DNA sequence: ATTACTAGCGATCGAGTAG
DNA sequence: TCTACTCGATCGCTAGTAA
């Protein structure tokens, strides 16, 4: 059984996020339709995962959610809300400005390029375009787009982590010295999301081309990124 | 893995409830971090449970949610919304009016009374008080109160289903010919919810006493019911 | 009363592979 | 390619029971 579901079942018996409930493993077992032993193990695991806090007494246990537990449930809730309140369409595009990367991107693209070619079928330009999201797009949920994964691999004793690649279109206003002044140019690319470490408000983009050069981008250039799923 | 979670993962890749997505079992497997075989089985099971519809082609499958699937996710969503938007407090009490039962209640209480005594520690009056919920309380969520269950049992060749009992207080304005005119009288009781069949807008209440007599209730009398959990 | 350990077994998973 | 079957391995459940 998934932790989220169990957490949800607990939450449902609470009045609010900072509430606490008293329940025995036997009662909880009946609610979930499992044995008392299993219910006990579930609660123990949740505690171990730091999703709930417990105080165990002679006639049951007092349970409250931890910050992490609340956060997980809240993500759950927000995603469902987006789904049902139909707010997803508005989030298919995000906007931001080009910022300087720390040069790390180039190194990693070099290391990953064989895998990128294998999975995405193109040889990437050895560098990433870093985009700082405009404030109202921070927290953009990338989970709802079907990604391509590049799995963990080892090379020369180093381990390179799993990376999520989401197909996207980079959109910029045409450069001044061209016919298409002011016209929007769309360029296919991939958003790169490392499984381990990434900033909340910066996304990295890779492409077959040097996007800065091809699209005439500089530090601070406004860009829009469109995601279409598959 | 729980069906609900899988349904949620699918929904998260959709733009809205009537959207459909194209995804292969391999892609879905990577999203859930399970094998392709398992992902395939999950989808097959969801289809079998009538939670999704599939169109299987040569390069993947088109998936959309069924009405039942949407309903399950929506319940999920509404419960989480109540939890996070703190609307639960307002629902600790519901209101309604006394209505005539069809006499069935008395029969069942007679059959269940041994079990009731065993589990709830009182001999119930042989009859139920039926309350029709006021419109704005229809859909009241009883799941968040910790109930006492009376398990399935057999007696004289008949099977009597599982029943959920939730402790409550019945509140009515004092009868006219007493000292406590207009004063609110609280009476301990249990709400009875059969696992199998019950109306959305009618709840049945049992008590040690004949509540109609004790509280002077008639068809149409306004009552309030307070639930406290345990 | 509780919670939760251990043992055994039944359910579920994933590798191999067919269609 | 895809989906999905079989089947052996492994995981997770429940019964019994200790604390």
Contact A65, A17 (CB under 8 A): yes
pLDDT in tens, A165-223: 888 889 887 665 555 555 678 888 999 998 777 778 899 999 999 999 989 899 999 99
Nucleotide nearest to A41 (CA to C1'): C4
Spell out which residues of chain B touch residue A14, defining contact as CB-CB under 8 Å.
83, 88, 144
Would you state the CATH architecture of domain B89-227? Beta Barrel (2.40)
Interatomic separation, CA of residue B37 and C1' of nucleotide C17, rounded (Å): 12
Phi first, then psi: what are they for B135, rounded to 5°?
-45, -45
Q: Give the pLDDT mean for A45-63.
A: 89
pLDDT at A230: 39
Asked if the Cβ–Cβ distance from B89 to A15 is below 8 Å, we say: yes
Whether residue A229 lies within 8 A of chain B, CB to CB, comes out as yes
Whether residue A77 lies within 8 A of chain B, CB to CB, comes out as yes
What is the pLDDT confidence band of residue B180, given thresholds at 50, 70 and 90? low
Given a cut of 90, whether residue B11 has pLDDT beyond it is yes
pLDDT in tens, A109-162: 999 988 888 778 788 999 999 999 988 788 787 877 777 788 888 888 888 888
* Domain spans of chain B, in order of start: 3-84, 89-227
User: Would you say the C-alpha torsion A153, A154, A155, A160 has a positive or negative sign?
Assistant: positive
CA distance A136 to A95: 9
pLDDT at A180: 52
Chain C nucleotides close to protein (CB under 7 A) are 1-6, 12-16
Asked if the Cβ–Cβ distance from A17 to B79 is below 8 Å, we say: no
Q: Give the pLDDT mean for B117-144.
A: 85
Instruction: Check residue B156 and report its DSSP letter.
Output: T
Phi first, then psi: what are they for B14, rounded to 5°?
-100, 155
Mean pLDDT of the residues in chain A = 85
Nucleotide nearest to A35 (CA to C1'): D14
Interatomic separation, CA of residue B170 and C1' of nucleotide D14, rounded (Å): 39
CA distance A201 to A181: 29
B60 CB contact with strand D at below 7 Å: yes
The alpha-helical segments, DSSP class H, found in chain B are: 3-12, 25-32, 36-48, 67-84, 104-120, 211-215
Q: CA of B15: which chain A residue's CA is closest?
A: A88
pLDDT in tens, B98-123: 998 877 888 889 999 888 887 787 88
Q: CA of B150: which chain A residue's CA is closest?
A: A30
pLDDT at A119: 79
Enumerate helices (H) and strands (E) in chain B, giving the number of each.
Answer: 6, 12
Q: Give the pLDDT mean for B60-74.
A: 90
CA distance A230 to A120: 13
Contact B115, B150 (CB under 8 A): yes
Asked if the Cβ–Cβ distance from B15 to A88 is below 8 Å, we say: yes
Helix axis angle for B67-84 and A67-84, nearest 10°, is 130
Fold classification of B3-84 is Arc Repressor Mutant, subunit A (1.10.10)
Task: Copy the structure tokens of residue B225.
Answer: 């019911």
Residues 6+ apart with CB under 8 A from B33: none
Whether residue B57 lies within 8 A of chain A, CB to CB, comes out as no
- Tokens 């269950």 correspond to B149
Given a cut of 80, whether residue B208 has pLDDT beyond it is yes
Q: Are strands B52-57 and A148-150 parallel, antiparallel or unpaired?
A: unpaired
User: Would you say the C-alpha torsion B141, B74, B2, A10 has a positive or negative sign?
Assistant: negative
Asked if the Cβ–Cβ distance from B13 to A229 is below 8 Å, we say: yes
Asked if the Cβ–Cβ distance from A1 to B2 is below 8 Å, we say: yes
pLDDT at A139: 78
Mean pLDDT of the residues in chain B = 85
């Amino acid at each position: 059984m998934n932790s989220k579901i169990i957490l949800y079942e607990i939450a449902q018996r609470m009045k609010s996020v900072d509430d606490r409930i008293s329940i025995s493993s036997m009662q909880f077992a009946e609610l979930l339709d499992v044995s008392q032993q299993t219910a006990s193990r579930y609660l123990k695991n949740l505690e171990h995962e730091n999703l709930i806090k417990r105080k165990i007494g002679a006639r049951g246990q007092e349970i409250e959610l931890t910050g992490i537990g609340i956060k997980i449930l809240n993500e759950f809730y927000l995603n469902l809300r987006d789904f049902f309140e139909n707010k997803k369409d508005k989030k298919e595009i995000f906007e931001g400005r080009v910022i300087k990367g720390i040069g790390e991107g180039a190194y990693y693209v070099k290391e990953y390029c064989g895998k990128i070619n294998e999975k995405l079928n193109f040889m990437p330009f050895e560098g990433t375009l870093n985009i700082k999201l405009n404030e109202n797009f921070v927290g953009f949920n990338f989970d709802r787009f079907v990604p391509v994964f590049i799995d963990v691999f080892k090379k020369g004793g180093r381990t390179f982590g799993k990376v999520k690649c989401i197909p996207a279109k980079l959109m910029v206003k045409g450069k001044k010295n061209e016919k298409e002044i002011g016209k929007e140019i769309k360029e296919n690319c991939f958003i790169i999301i490392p499984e381990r470490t990434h900033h909340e408000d910066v996304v990295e983009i890779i492409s077959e081309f040097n996007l800065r050069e091809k699209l005439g981008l500089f530090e601070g250039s406004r860009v829009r990124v469109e995601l279409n799923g598959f």
